[in-house]
C-alpha cells in the first residue's frame, strides 16, 4: 500500500499545475445550471485525454456527462462526482470550480494504477447542484439508474474546516401560482378576483405555520410575480419557496401542510392555484460510518486535523446517499471567516490560497479511492452497512 500511495502522490504532485489552471479557468467563466458548457467540456476532455470513455448530454442534462475507465481485472466500481455550476449573480461562491477539478484529478490519478488494482472508475458530471434551470442533476442520475451498478460515490466540498460526511437537510423547491380575474381596480374592483391576495395569504399562512413545526424545518420564499399595474386587479401571481427538513419524510409532511395553506388561500379569494416542484427534489445526506472511517484514516495519515462539528444546508449529493454509500466530507481551504455563498468565499475559491489546496484535496480523495479499490471486502462491508 505504501508503494501505491507514494506512486499516487507523486503523480498528483507532478501534474497539479495543469489542474490548478483548469480550476482558475472555470472560476473565470462562471456558468449556471444547464449552461455549464465550458466547465463540463474542459473536464470531460481531460478525462478523454487519459483514456476514459466519455458520454455527454446524459440523464436529461445537456451539460451532464459520464466518464468510464474499466480494468480487465474485476473489482469495485467507484464514481467520483463532479460539480461545476456557479451561483447566479455571484459566480463560484461555493467552490464548484474546485469540486469538479478535484474529482476529475482524483479519478485520473487513481486510474493510473487501475489495471493493477482492478475494478472501474467513473466520473459523473452532474450539473446544477445549486438548482436553477433543470437543476439538481444528481436526482436525474439516480432516477435514470446511473448508480445501480456503482458501489460507492465520492466527492469533497470546500469549506472552513475538515470534517467527515455531514448530515444535510432535504429540500423541496416549489412554485405556487394563483389564477384570478383581471378588472379595473378603480372602476370595477368587484368584478376582479385578486391573485395577489391569495399569494399574500399563503405567505402569511406559512409564517403562522412556522410556530407549529419542529426546529429542523426551514421555509423561505419570495414573490416572483405580483401583478402588472396598481390599477389592475392581478389575475396571476407566483411565489417560489424552499421547504427544508431533516429527512425526506419530514419534507413530504411539510409539503402537504403548505399545500393546504395554498388551497385555503385559493378558496378564500376565489382563485384557482397550482403548486409543484420547479426542479428536482433534494434529499438529505445519509452518512456512512464505515466509509467515513476510511477517509478519517487518510486525514490522519496525512497529518490533517479534523472536527466532528459539521452541518450542511442542502445538496443533491444527498439523493445519491439514499441509494448507495456516499463520501461527502468538508475540506478546509481557508482560515478566513468566509461562509459559503458569500463574496469572501468567492474570492477564496479563485485565489492562490483556495486553488493551492487542490493538491491536498486530490491526495485525500484519490487516496481514499485507492484504499477502497485495494480492499474489495471492505467495500462489501460498507455496502452492507448502508443497506
Block residue for cell numbers 458548457: 37
- What the chain holds in terms of domains, given with CATH numbers, is 1-168+285-385 (3.40.630.10), 170-277 (3.30.70.360)
pLDDT of residue 299: 98
Question: C-alpha grid cell for residue 285?
Answer: 445526506
Pick the closest to residue 325 from 361, 298, 367, 294 (CA basis).
294
Rounded CA-CA distance 73/325 in Å is 23
Given a contact cutoff of 8 angstroms between Cβ atoms, the answer to whether 156 and 364 are in contact is: yes
pLDDT of residue 1: 86
Pick the closest to residue 245 from 253, 236, 234 (CA basis).
253
Question: C-alpha grid cell for residue 86?
Answer: 456557479
pLDDT of residue 310: 74
Q: Kindly give the interhelix angle for 248-269 and 195-209, rounded to the nearest 10 degrees.
A: 140
pLDDT of residue 205: 98
Rounded CA-CA distance 88/343 in Å is 13
Given a contact cutoff of 8 angstroms between Cβ atoms, the answer to whether 39 and 101 are in contact is: no
Q: What digits encode the pLDDT tens for the residues 271-295? A: 999 999 999 999 999 999 999 999 9
Question: C-alpha grid cell for residue 293?
Answer: 472511517
Q: What are the C-alpha distances in Å from 37 to residues 40, 67, 99? A: 5, 16, 16
pLDDT of residue 308: 84
Mark residue 270 as left, alpha or beta (left: phi above 0; alpha: psi -120 to 50; beta: remaining).
Answer: left
pLDDT of residue 263: 98
Question: C-alpha grid cell for residue 92?
Answer: 463560484
Mark residue 168 as left, alpha or beta (left: phi above 0; alpha: psi -120 to 50; beta: remaining).
Answer: beta
Stretches where the chain sits below pLDDT 70 are 309
Rounded CA-CA distance 374/143 in Å is 30
Question: C-alpha grid cell for residue 380?
Answer: 462489501
Rounded CA-CA distance 118/136 in Å is 31
Phi, psi of 250 (to 5 degrees): -65, -45
Phi, psi of 220 (to 5 degrees): -140, 145
Question: C-alpha grid cell for residue 280?
Answer: 428536482
Pick the closest to residue 228 from 266, 267, 271, 180 (CA basis).
180
Amino acid at each position: 500500500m505504501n508503494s501505491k500511495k507514494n506512486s499516487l502522490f507523486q503523480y498528483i504532485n507532478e501534474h497539479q499545475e495543469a489542474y490548478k489552471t483548469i480550476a482558475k479557468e472555470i472560476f473565470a467563466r462562471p456558468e449556471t445550471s444547464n449552461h455549464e458548457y465550458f466547465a463540463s467540456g474542459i473536464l470531460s476532455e481531460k478525462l478523454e485525454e487519459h483514456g476514459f470513455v466519455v458520454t455527454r448530454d446524459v440523464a436529461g442534462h445537456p451539460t451532464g456527462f459520464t466518464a468510464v475507465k474499466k480494468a480487465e481485472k474485476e473489482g469495485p466500481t467507484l464514481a467520483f462526482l463532479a460539480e461545476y455550476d456557479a451561483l447566479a449573480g455571484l459566480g463560484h461562491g461555493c467552490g464548484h470550480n474546485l469540486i469538479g477539478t478535484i474529482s476529475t484529478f482524483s479519478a485520473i490519478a487513481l486510474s493510473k494504477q487501475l489495471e493493477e488494482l482492478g475494478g472501474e472508475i467513473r466520473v459523473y458530471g452532474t450539473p446544477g447542484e445549486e438548482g436553477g434551470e433543470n437543476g439538481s442533476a444528481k436526482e436525474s442520475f439516480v432516477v435514470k439508474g446511473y448508480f445501480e451498478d456503482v458501489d460507492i460515490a465520492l466527492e469533497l466540498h470546500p469549506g472552513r474546516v475538515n470534517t467527515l460526511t455531514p448530515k444535510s437537510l432535504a429540500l423541496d423547491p416549489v412554485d405556487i401560482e394563483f389564477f384570478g380575474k383581471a378588472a379595473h381596480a378603480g372602476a370595477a374592483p368587484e368584478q376582479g378576483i385578486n391573485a395577489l391576495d391569495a399569494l399574500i395569504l399563503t405567505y402569511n399562512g406559512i409564517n403562522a405555520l412556522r410556530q407549529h413545526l419542529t426546529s429542523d424545518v426551514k421555509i423561505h420564499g419570495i414573490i416572483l410575480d405580483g401583478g402588472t399595474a396598481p390599477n389592475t386587479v392581478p389575475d396571476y401571481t407566483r411565489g417560489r419557496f424552499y421547504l427544508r427538513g431533516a429527512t425526506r419524510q419530514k419534507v413530504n409532511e411539510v409539503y402537504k401542510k403548505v399545500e393546504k395553506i395554498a388551497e385555503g388561500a385559493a378558496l378564500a379569494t376565489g382563485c384557482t392555484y397550482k403548486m409543484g416542484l420547479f426542479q428536482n427534489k433534494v434529499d438529505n445526506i445519509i452518512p456512512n460510518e464505515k466509509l467515513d472511517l476510511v477517509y478519517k484514516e487518510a486525514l490522519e495519515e496525512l497529518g490533517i486535523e479534523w472536527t466532528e462539528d459539521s452541518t450542511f444546508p442542502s445538496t443533491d449529493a444527498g439523493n445519491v446517499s439514499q441509494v448507495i454509500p456516499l463520501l461527502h466530507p468538508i475540506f478546509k481551504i481557508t482560515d478566513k471567516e468566509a461562509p459559503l455563498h458569500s463574496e469572501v468565499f468567492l474570492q477564496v475559491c479563485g485565489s492562490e490560497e483556495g486553488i493551492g489546496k487542490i493538491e491536498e484535496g486530490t491526495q485525500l480523495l484519490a487516496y481514499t479511492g485507492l484504499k477502497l479499490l485495494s480492499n474489495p471486502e471492505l467495500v462489501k462491508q460498507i455496502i452492507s452497512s448502508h443497506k
